[in-house]
Amino acid sequence: MSTSEMFKKYSWILLLGIAFIVFYKVFDSLYLVLDFVKTVASVLKSFIIGGVVAYLLYPICLFFEAKLGKSKLPFVRKKKLSLSVSITYFSFLLILIISLVYLIPVLAANLTDFVTKLPELANNIEKYYLSVSQNKDILYLLDYFSESISTLLTNTISSISFDPMSYIKYTITSGYNVISLLLSILMGLVICPYILFDRKHLLAYVDKFARLFISQKSVDFIHYYARKIHEIFSKFIVGKAIDSLIIGAIALIGFTLMGNRFAVLFALIVGVTNMIPYFGPFIGGIPVTIITFFAISPMAGVWCGLFIFALQQFDGLLLGPAILGDSLGISAFWIIFAITFFGHFLGVIGMFIGVPLIAVLRMIINDIYDYKTNKKIKVNQRE
């Protein structure tokens, strides 16, 4: 066997060794890699926001483009792309502006009321703790868990106690972060229509760049999986968004009927956190119940907790399955694993996108298995 033939035969060992070294170095310095990714994401924040909004508006844009393409007017058919993007984008802006005009004053009033109630909330927690600690049976349980409970309550009370200097520092820092985020969102909204307008050209440039390194067959293979990944993410995001919007609306009606002074704020928290599978209802429902218990009244807190529990049961047993069905086809174990794993590295965003990411990994593993057993994966040609 010649040297070149031996090299070809055993070159996979060299490649495997290089891949192992790269894999080890990446995970050995994982936090450095994540810090670099976060820095790049921070620099490109406006483009990322614009891309995410464009991705969410893309199905609506396609719908209008298809409708305009069937128009009897030649001008409309010729300009269907620009007209569909304009209709979609300006409709989105109109809905966003109307929502903000209504929500901002109400949320501002709720937040102002909540901040002014913080010292009273701290006093109520402290009084309740002192009154409960005088009960002998409960005192026995408190002694059993004394260290952890005392630390938790001390940290909670101290964190919400009113300290003027800390409050001013926190206000300045939060104000700067909010202004920075608002500017990024504003720039993202400006970038969004350009992405929708130029999406075909942008994808064409990506294809040309890819063709410098891989074959057309490989590019078609990537397109195939890009479409499948898009289907998984779009089904999950759209379904969850509709589900959470309905849950938020029902929560707003329920809190308003119960006379909760923070109805809009609490409904927004319940609706947004509902986007996170499994843990979302707990992340949003428990703080809302505790705040209602201490800030309004214990009985109001009990009713609030029962209402949220009933609402989440309705969502889990009826509304969620009706809207989402078994769109991802993964078990509860993998959903919990995805939320925990990706939530650790990516925070709240990871808890949200972790579930469709696991679904994508599951799809790829199944396809690899099918390829190993059947030696064939059907790949459609580019549309």
Residue 176 has pLDDT above 50, yes or no: yes
As a whole number of angstroms, the distance between CA 133 and CA 7 comes to 76
Q: What is the mean pLDDT of residues 269-274?
A: 89
Higher per-residue confidence, 267 vs 104: 267
Q: For 184-205, what is each residue's pLDDT tens digit?
A: 889 999 999 999 999 888 888 8
Confidence of residue 275 (pLDDT cuts 50, 70, 90): confident
Higher per-residue confidence, 157 vs 88: 88
Q: What is the pLDDT of residue 192?
A: 92
Q: What is the mean pLDDT of residues 164-186?
A: 77
Cβ neighbours of residue 225 closer than 8 Å, sequence gap 6 or more? 364
Phi then psi for residue 274, to 5 deg, are -65, -15
Confidence of residue 90 (pLDDT cuts 50, 70, 90): very high
Residue percentage of the chain with pLDDT more than 90: 13
A 10 A CB-CB count for 322 gives 11
Q: For 249-259, what is each residue's pLDDT tens digit?
A: 999 999 999 88
Residue 271 has pLDDT above 60, yes or no: yes
Q: For 289-305, what is each residue's pLDDT tens digit?
A: 888 887 788 888 899 99
Residue 93 has pLDDT above 90, yes or no: yes
Residue 6 has pLDDT above 60, yes or no: no
Residue 153 has pLDDT above 60, yes or no: no
As a whole number of angstroms, the distance between CA 126 and CA 158 comes to 10
- Helix 298-314 with 263-273: angle, nearest 10 deg: 40
Residue 94 has pLDDT above 90, yes or no: yes
Cβ neighbours of residue 119 closer than 8 Å, sequence gap 6 or more? 161, 162
Cβ neighbours of residue 249 closer than 8 Å, sequence gap 6 or more? 267, 271
List, as one string, the DSSP characters of 300-314.
HHHHHHHHHHHHHHH
Confidence of residue 383 (pLDDT cuts 50, 70, 90): very low
The chain-wide mean pLDDT, for the chain, equals 79
Residue 9 has pLDDT above 60, yes or no: no
Q: What is the pLDDT of residue 195?
A: 92
User: According to DSSP H, which parts of the chain are helical?
Assistant: 3-28, 30-43, 45-69, 74-78, 80-116, 118-133, 136-144, 146-160, 164-197, 199-211, 216-257, 263-273, 280-295, 298-314, 320-323, 332-374
Q: What is the pLDDT of residue 7?
A: 54
Confidence of residue 382 (pLDDT cuts 50, 70, 90): very low
Q: What is the mean pLDDT of residues 38-67?
A: 88
Q: What is the pLDDT of residue 101?
A: 86
Q: What is the mean pLDDT of residues 313-321?
A: 81
